[in-house]
């Protein structure tokens, strides 16, 4: 009877987990409800204005023991053309800071920044998630 209460999910045999994801009505944030009055932000957005060649996006942020510079994925999209300049987010894991940088000096360029907490999964972990059950169904990608 060890199989009772277990779900067969493809190559994985695990007990299903309930994960409630909530969003705020007024802020660009999605957080995970962990029960017992605990929540953890997992995805949020911010607007940053770049004047010069760099601006700090986040500094000293630690969520449930995970420092942002090590355990987050960040994307920055400019709202205006930067010309031939390139931009990137530099991480300093020792100081736990994330800095938006540009290869050329900018004058008040607004960036939309999206931050997602968690380490990037490799394809071997994501590969089996899209199929539910043992039907052999597979995702059809272009």
User: What average pLDDT does the segment 127-135 reach?
Assistant: 56
Per-residue pLDDT band for 112 (boundaries 50, 70, 90) equals very high
Q: Where are the domains of the chain?
A: 39-119
Question: What is the rounded CA–CA span in Å between residue 49 and residue 57?
Answer: 10
> So what's the pLDDT on residue 50?
95
> So what's the pLDDT on residue 109?
95
Residue that the structure tokens 């939309």 belong to: 112
What DSSP assignment string belongs to the chain? -TTTT-EEETTEEE-----EEEE-SSSSEEEEEEETTEEEEEEEEEEEEEEEEEEEEEES-EETTEEHHHHEEEEEEESS--TT--EEEEEETTTTEEEEEEEEEEEEEEEEEEEEESPPPPHHHHTTTT--SSS-------
> So what's the pLDDT on residue 5?
45
pLDDT, mean over the chain: 79
Has residue 22 got a pLDDT over 70? yes
* Count of C-beta atoms within a 10 Å radius of residue 68: 21
């Amino acid at each position: 009877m060890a199989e009772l209460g277990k779900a067969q999910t493809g190559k994985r045999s695990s007990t299903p987990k309930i994960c409630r994801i909530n969003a705020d009505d007024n802020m660009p944030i999605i957080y995970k409800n962990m029960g017992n009055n605990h929540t953890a932000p997992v995805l949020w957005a911010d607007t940053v204005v770049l004047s010069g060649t760099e601006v700090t996006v986040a500094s000293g942020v630690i969520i449930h023991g995970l420092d942002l510079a090590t355990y987050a994925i960040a994307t920055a999209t400019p709202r205006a053309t930067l010309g031939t300049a390139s931009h990137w987010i530099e991480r300093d894991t020792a100081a736990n800071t994330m800095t938006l940088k540009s290869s050329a000096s900018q004058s008040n360029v607004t960036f939309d920044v999206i931050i997602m907490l968690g380490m990037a999964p490799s394809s071997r972990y994501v590969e089996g998630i899209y199929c539910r059950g043992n039907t052999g169904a597979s995702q059809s990608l272009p």
